[in-house]
Structure 1
């Protein structure tokens, strides 16, 4: 029993990203509220960012500053740099989406998806 708990603790970030992904997909698919769907999308985005950061992390790794004569295991800085960019783009996209939702609410009075809306299928 103790080995199972140690296994789960060692996989903590991956379990968290599974929970975030499931919660995000649930929010996007089960509610007709656009704001809840947007929050679900943000949860899925956070899970993807956490996944890439967890992939680039090493338990015994250090920051990637090379010192002559030192033998160290270094963390991979590329996933961290890419995810920093993804966070900035995600926050900007979230802000734009919220402003669009406010405009929809101002024009229609609601941010609920309308049943049988007058959208035509392509």
Structure 2
């Protein structure tokens, strides 16, 4: 019981400022970024999406509970169907307007005025 509490605490305190290829590969077990179809990076303190745009076949992405302000790196994700960026610091959605496959978008708890 003690170990499971410790594991949960370690996960909660993990903080990442920037998305890197090493982070993506370690989280997914995929060798190539192009092979990643689903990605869950919730509550890690991320503010820089870094190389996430290299995951060109990504279909589902959960970035909720971070410190993201800029969605520009997501503009290359043409196959993205589900995007959760709730609870971030986003004020503009223009950068994801070219994500033509997007079917579900959660932007609750951001700084979007319209």
Q: Which has the higher helix share?
A: 1
Task: Assess same fold via TM > 0.5.
Answer: no
Structure with greater contact order relative to length (CA < 8 Å, sep ≥ 6): 1
Q: Which has the higher strand share?
A: 2
Give TM-score scaled by structure 2 length. 0.27
